[in-house]
Amino acid sequence: MIRVTNLALKTNKTVLLDGLSFEVAAGEIFGVIGPDTPNKTALLRLLASLMRPTSGEVMIGGVSTTHQPEQARRLTGYLASDAGVYLDMTCAEYLAFFAECYGVSAGARPALVSDLLSLVDLQKRANTRIGALTRGMGQRLGLARALAHDPPALVLDEPMRGMDPRAQVETRELLRELAGMGKAIVLTARSLAEADGLITRGALLARTRFTAQGEMSELTSAGEAYRTILIRALGDVERVMDVARAAPGVVEIWSTGAPDAPSAPSPQPPITELRCRFNGGYLQADALLRELAHHGAQVVAFHEI
Partner 1 sequence: MLLSNRLNPLLRTELRRRFRNARSFGALTVYLAVVSGLALALYLGVAISNANGPTGGGIESGRAAGTSLFYITSGLLLVLVCFIGPLFSVGAIAAERENATLDALRMTPLPAREIVLAKFASAYGYVVLLTLVTLPIFALVLIIGGVEAAEIAVVLCVILCAGFAFTALGVLASAISKTRMTAAILTYTVVLLLVMGTAIFSLIAAPGLMALRTALASSGSALGVFFGQLLLILPLSFSPISAIVSAETNFRASGHMLSITPDPLPGLPATSAIAMPAPFALMTLFYLLAGIVLLIIAIRKVKTMDDRR
Closest CB to partner 1 among residues 71, 279: 71
CA atoms of 294 and 19, how far apart (whole Å): 40
Binding mask 13-42 for partner 1 (x = CB under 8 A): ---x---------------------x---x
**Residues contacting residue 178 through CB under 8 Å, at least 6 positions apart:** 147, 154, 185
Please report whether residue 85 would count as binding partner 1 according to CB under 8 A. yes
Please report whether residue 84 would count as binding partner 1 according to CB under 8 A. yes
| Binding-site size, partner 1 (CB under 8 A) | 35
Residues 165-224 that bind partner 1 (CB under 8 A): none
CA atoms of 296 and 132, how far apart (whole Å): 32
Choose the stretch contacting partner 1; rule: CB under 8 A; options: 88-96, 185-193, 211-219, 279-287. Answer: 88-96
Please report whether residue 101 would count as binding partner 1 according to CB under 8 A. yes
Q: Are 24 and 213 in contact (CB under 8 A)?
A: no
Residues 271-290 that bind partner 1 (CB under 8 A): none
CB of 13 to partner 1, least distance (A): 10
Choose the stretch contacting partner 1; rule: CB under 8 A; options: 101-109, 118-126, 203-211, 265-273. Answer: 101-109
Please report whether residue 126 would count as binding partner 1 according to CB under 8 A. no
CB of 161 to partner 1, least distance (A): 12
Residue 162, Cβ density class (10 Å: 0-12 exposed, 13-18 middle, ≥19 buried): middle
Q: Are 138 and 130 in contact (CB under 8 A)?
A: yes
Q: Is the dihedral of CA 124, 126, 131, 136 positive or negative?
A: positive
Binding mask 44-83 for partner 1 (x = CB under 8 A): -x--x-xxx-----------------x--xx-xxx-x-xx
The one among 19, 67, 88, 132 contacting partner 1 by CB under 8 A: 88
Residues 219-258 that bind partner 1 (CB under 8 A): none
The one among 40, 125, 140, 145 contacting partner 1 by CB under 8 A: 145
CA atoms of 278 and 249, how far apart (whole Å): 6
Q: Are 280 and 213 in contact (CB under 8 A)?
A: no
Choose the stretch contacting partner 1; rule: CB under 8 A; options: 121-129, 138-146, 168-176, 275-283. Answer: 138-146
The one among 11, 55, 118, 221 contacting partner 1 by CB under 8 A: 11
Residues that bind partner 1 (CB under 8 A): 9, 11, 16, 38, 42, 45, 48, 50-52, 70, 73-74, 76-78, 80, 82-89, 93, 97-98, 100-103, 142, 145-146
